Structure 1
Amino acid sequence: MSQTPLIDQIAQRVEHLLLRHEELQRTNALLATQVQELTHERDLLKSRLGAARHRIDALIDRLPQGAEATTKDNA
């Protein structure tokens, strides 16, 4: 008779662990989705930053050569 309560306790613990495992799997899936979304957002921002740098470099290249010296002299 003393075996039955022990088996019931073990069964309850196993059920609890299974529920916890399922919960952790769902949490892990949500976190993986967030990582994927944030990685995509980061890549998009890096791309936009690169494009902005390219546009700024192109604008700097279009400045007259003497413009830098003139603005430094006026300062």
Structure 2
Amino acid sequence: MSKIEELAERVERLLLRHEEVKRTNTLLEQQLAAVVQERDSLRSRLNAARSRLDALLERLPDDKSMPATSDSGDSAR
């Protein structure tokens, strides 16, 4: 086989490989976009849950305002 034919085959293989890599890259970009969207959604849900927890914590009475209660004796068992 001549050098030119070998070079032509090699170029063809490289072109095919390049197309495969481009397709793989496109798929990976799509997957990344989906994961980024899911991450952003989870962050938003986390922040909303944090806000709800903060609001609930603010509604709890302070320790100072709670009356002192005696043990009912349950710990003496």
TM-score (normalizing by structure 2):
0.79
The one-letter code of the counterpart of 2:25 is: N
Q: 1:62 to 1:9 in 2, by over 3 A?
A: same
Match for 1:16 among 13, 24, 32?
Answer: 13
Structure 2 residue aligned with 1:29: 26
Which blocks of at least 5 consecutive residues in structure 1 are unaligned? none
Q: Secondary structure, in 3 states, of the residue corresponding to 1:65? A: coil
Deviation sequence 1:4-32 (CA, Å, 0-9, x none):
71111011000000000000000100111
The alignment's C-alpha RMSD in Å is: 2.4
Q: Provide the C-alpha distance between the structure 1 equivalents of 2:17 and 2:64, rounded to a whole number of angstroms.
A: 67
**Worse overlay, 59-68 or 11-20:** 59-68
Q: Provide the C-alpha distance between the structure 2 equivalents of 1:23 and 1:34, rounded to a whole number of angstroms.
A: 17
> What stretches of structure 1 move > 3 A for 4+ residues in a row?
66-70
Structure number with the higher helix fraction is 1
Structure 1 residue aligned with 2:3: 6
Deviation of 1:68 after TM superposition, in Å, equals 8.4
Identity score, percent: 51
Q: Provide the C-alpha distance between the structure 2 equivalents of 1:20 and 1:26, rounded to a whole number of angstroms.
A: 10
